[in-house]
Structure 1
Amino acid sequence: MKKMVNLYMFLLVVCMLGGCQTSDWNKEDIDKGEEGFITDLDDRRLLIKGTYYKVTNDTYIQDQHGKNLDYSELEVGMKVKPWHRGGVTKKTFPGKAKAELILVLTDEKSAAEQRAVTAALEHVSEADSQRFIILEVTHLPSEHVYTIEMMNRSNMDSSFMVTVEDVTDEILYLK
């Protein structure tokens, strides 16, 4: 049932986006970007995994219940699903894309992951200029922890793991 609701929401948003475009709107298809966590907000851009998504006046930002949000309501650590038009430019790293829709995930699981990711980012950041990419978040309920695989954008050669307690968001281990 939940998947049907999500599919319905996606189709509704795609239809809305299509209806708001000029007659040549279908020259470039809308593509779904990789779901992930916002790790940088800068100059109306947000970094999700290996792509900066540019937010324009035409970008829809909504929570998963369809509530419209403003760019100013976005936060580092939020779990999102991005959609973009025109592909991702990969001439540089991170890639770049124009965001058509940023869907903020607000369910209980996503909110708990956001708290763990935010704690991990705050723990490893030594300067405001540092940028990280969240590669994977895994919840181990039997151990009451999240393991977060991350990478410093300035050192793409290796990733590292941060273990976060799932109730207190305390950093237990950094490797």
Structure 2
Amino acid sequence: MKLCIAEKPSVAKEIAAILNANNRKDGYFEGNGFYVSWTFGHLCTLKAPDDYKPEWKRWDISTLPMIPEKFGIKLIEQKSIEKQFNTITFLIDKSEEVIKLVVMPALRRTGYWNVVLLKANCKLPLKRLWISSLTEEALKEGFNNLKNGNDYDKLYSAGNARAIGDWLLGMNA
């Protein structure tokens, strides 16, 4: 089975229909050799200051600068997010490949999946469907021309650098 991860439920529903993955489950669709699941916005975030050091919980000039040795990620603490993340992790364990679906790509959104897959400790081969339309024709063409997921690591790195820069500026300024 191949796992497709869309950016939101409505996109997953359209993708599932095209792939004939019509069996609706809790947090995903299944059928025709595919699981189709989704994120909804950010499931993960950079760790908070006090996740690194307890004394960083309350901002104080004496603790500046706050610069972690290594930045980490954590799940956003919300039941629906935890449930969907667990669904994705469950599906990763049952899959042979992950296809990250990028529709109408924006730099900010291209990293959602990378962070979720890192947090889920995913070691599966990654492919990327990169399209700018949800028409049946665009989806079929995209699935016939899947890209190596690692070809887009620089986009993820750029987004990650921006997030770390925002964190450092926000916590220290």
* TM-score for the superposition, normalised by structure 1: 0.27
Q: Which structure has more RCO (C-alpha within 8 Å, separation ≥ 6)?
A: 2
TM-score (norm 2): 0.27
Which of the two has greater helix per residue?
2
Structure with max Cα Rg: 2
Q: Which has the higher strand share?
A: 1
